[in-house]
Amino acid sequence: MQLSINNLSKTYSNGVEALKNVSLTIKTGMFGLLGPNGAGKSTLMRILATLQEPDTGIAVFNDINILKEKDKLRKTLGYLPQEFGVYPKINAETLLNHVAVLKGINKRGERKELVKALLNKTNLYEQRKKNLGGYSGGMKQRFGIAQALIANPKLIIVDEPTAGLDPAERNRFLNLLSELGDHAVVILSTHIVEDVKELCTDMAVINKGELLLQGNPLDAIESIQGRVWKKIIDKTTLSEYKTNFNVVSEKLIAGKPIIHILSDTNPGDGFESVTPDLEDVYFAQIFGSAELAIT
């Protein structure tokens, strides 16, 4: 199974270039699409989910032309939108059953079994009779994944599913997702580096509509091995460091800024070498000036 995206571009009427000539090839498994808020991730996700038209470019899933054969794609699509709602006065079982019919599952018995299984899988069975309006953020998100999985989809798109979940809910949710990659192309869009690190075998970074990097997360980390240095500094000297070094990230640890910089050689000056992680790769792409080459 393969999803090929070729030269997708989309510019909104207010002049925002959401996507600039994005090309990607995505194979079976979990694919992480990483980018800051406003990078163009959701636009790309909506285009792939048949809900929006790009200005130019093509997207093909197996032999389905996504932009032309929308009905055909929808039969094999599972989509969890970034910001989705539910009918507040309806319970989970009813809405899931409704979506199941709309997705083409006509036999009542089969539908009932499937809805039950999905509610169990997403740990919502106990609350199946509760109105969706009363669901917490995490429960709603799990309901979202339940509806996305109904039609045994081969292309699963989840758009920022973990934003706003508490750590326990997030773990539960990631566990749910992790099973899906075996038999489908799963695209996980997120701005949370950890999500990608924990789940994805392949990833891409986009920012301001441009594809900055695509590859295996481990390879990406490998590519900056030995080039990331850290130092705990004083708040007042921060801007000084920013002008002198290629600072990719700054964090506070116990109130003190700790900066990571990218440098091919030892910068001295009290910097220590660190083992890079995916976050360094990500920030190096978004904020660093160094170009990373991943083969």
Partner 1 sequence: MLETIKFELQYRLKRPATYIYFALLFALAMFMVTTDVVQVSIGSGKVAPNAMFTLTFFHLVFVALGMLIISAVMGVPIVRDFEHNTSSIIFTTSTKKWQYLSGRFIGSFIVVLFIFLGPILGMLFGQLSPWAEKEHFVAVNLMNYIYPYLQGIPALFILGSIFFMGGALSRKITYVYVIGVLMIVLYLGVDSFTSDIENKKLASLFDPFGLNAFFYETQYWTTAEKNSLPPPTGGIVAFYRMVWLPIACLCLFISYFFFNFNVVRDSKWKKKKAVVNKVSNQSAPMQLPQASFSFGFGNQLKSIQNMTSIYFKTS
The residues that touch partner 1, with contacts defined as CB under 8 A, are 12-16, 36, 38, 43, 46, 49-53, 70-71, 74-75, 77, 79, 81, 83-90, 94, 98-99, 101-104, 144, 147, 151, 208, 235, 238-239, 242, 247, 249-250, 283, 286-287
Least CB distance to partner 1 at residue 52 (A): 5
Q: Which residue, 198 or 241, is less far from partner 1 as judged by CB?
A: 241
CB atoms within 10 A of CB 110: 11
**Length of the chain in terms of residues written:** 295
Q: Which residue, 151 or 228, is less far from partner 1 as judged by CB?
A: 151
Q: Which residue, 37 or 295, is less far from partner 1 as judged by CB?
A: 37
Q: Which residue, 145 or 165, is less far from partner 1 as judged by CB?
A: 145
Q: At what angle do helices 92-102 and 137-148 cross, to 10 degrees?
A: 30
Q: Which residue, 20 or 98, is less far from partner 1 as judged by CB?
A: 98
Least CB distance to partner 1 at residue 232 (A): 16
Least CB distance to partner 1 at residue 201 (A): 25
Least CB distance to partner 1 at residue 293 (A): 22
Least CB distance to partner 1 at residue 16 (A): 5
Residue among 20, 26, 4, 7 nearest 214 (CA): 26
Least CB distance to partner 1 at residue 37 (A): 9
Q: Is 226 left (phi over 0), alpha (psi -120 to 50) or beta?
A: left
d(CA 170, CA 163) in angstroms, rounded, equals 9
Sign of CA dihedral 132, 133, 136, 141: positive
- For residue 289, give every residue at least 6 positions away whose Cβ sits within 8 Å of its Cβ, in sequence order, or none: 246
- For residue 181, give every residue at least 6 positions away whose Cβ sits within 8 Å of its Cβ, in sequence order, or none: 28, 29, 30, 199, 201
Whether 137 contacts 169, CB under 8 Å? yes
Least CB distance to partner 1 at residue 294 (A): 22
Q: Which residue, 168 or 252, is less far from partner 1 as judged by CB?
A: 252
d(CA 154, CA 75) in angstroms, rounded, equals 9
Q: Which residue, 43 or 162, is less far from partner 1 as judged by CB?
A: 43
d(CA 164, CA 175) in angstroms, rounded, equals 17
Residue 213: both structure tokens together: 């990097």
